[in-house]
Amino acid sequence: MAETRTFQDMLLALQAFWHKQGCFLAQPYPSEVGAGTFNPATFLRALGPEPWKVAYVEPSRRPKDGRYGENPNRLQNFYQYQVLLKPVPENIVALYEESLEAMGIDLKQHDLRYVVDDWESPTLGAWGLGWEVWLDGMEVTQFTYFQQVGSIDLNPLSVEITYGIERIATYLQSKDRIMDLQVTDEYSWADLNLETEKEFCAFNFEEANVEQHFHAFTSFEAEAKRLLEKDLVAPGYDFVIKASHMFNMLEARGAISVTERTGYIGRVRNLARMAARAYVRQRERLGFPMIKDEAKRLEAVAAAEAAQVKANKKKNKGSKSSKKKESA
């Protein structure tokens, strides 16, 4: 095996690799997200015709996954390394494998397998086709060709690569537990995160005020709708993320029944759809400025205008049909 790397070394290697491929190195989203996909740099930027290349670390919160730091590989607060490329490069699989080698994994010495596993995020109205990537029998990456985001068909398609970086690090360092990872030469994962993990597990499962979280969900939902109806995309989507986290907290507290869960997922998905549509309208109004080829930009603007005319005709036809039924 290649030289053992610290967790920090590994992240720097990924950052350097994707920077070299022309990616914008974004920052983590400053709120509680359940996965890197929630970051607007993925969820919103995957929409529409404008090209986009981004990579970033995303601290991800999944309250019900916590185990007070006792489970070797499950945490309520973990990290993903997220890459989104639009349109999809022809050599994307080769690029991904090169990124593994950049972290110190000699693929000639190990079994790398792509296992069909289509991905879906019900709360985001997003899904795609792709694989789980297994390294010597351990899942290390989710590799997805997005088909829809916010229930909107994508054209062009995007590819999302989500690295399970703690798992990869345990592999590189030959550790059995995430808490034993060397984050730097001086600090272990437990040194930096164990007490915080325990405290947030206590909060997520025992101390979070259920009544206040129900109230917060309803409040965030209403504010998201209000802002998105005004086409204030960034603050509106911020409240979608906040509402989603409140749902996750309530689920961790056992405050939402199995039958209620579907309804709450639907409510968050409705907000995500509103955000996606508002973002698409925003980019259309701006004339898709991130398409630098002027001929292609004008072509995209014309296509968007034609699609809007078609949608308006369909809407008007449906409205007339409803009026006829009412008069009958």
Report the chain's mean pLDDT, rounded to a whole number: 95
pLDDT of residue 1: 44
How is domain 210-286 classified at the CATH fold level? Methane Monooxygenase Hydroxylase; Chain G, domain 1 (1.20.58)
Instruction: Write down the CATH number for the domain with range 7-207.
Output: 3.30.930.10
Q: How many helices (H) and strands (E) does the chain have?
A: 9, 8
Q: What is the pLDDT of residues 140-191, one digit of tens each?
A: 999 999 999 999 999 999 999 999 999 999 999 999 999 999 999 999 999 9
In degrees and rounded to multiples of 5, residue 324 shows phi and psi of -65, -40
Q: Model's pTM, two decimal places?
A: 0.93
DSSP assignment of 5-47 equals: --HHHHHHHHHHHHHHTT-EEPPPPSS--SSGGGSHHHHTTTS
Q: What is the pLDDT of residues 195-230, one digit of tens each?
A: 999 999 999 999 999 999 999 999 999 999 999 999
Paired tokens of 34? 């359940």
Distance CA 125, CA 150 (A): 5
Work out the pLDDT band at 3, boundaries 50, 70, 90: low
Mean pLDDT along residues 12-37: 98
Distance CA 273, CA 284 (A): 17
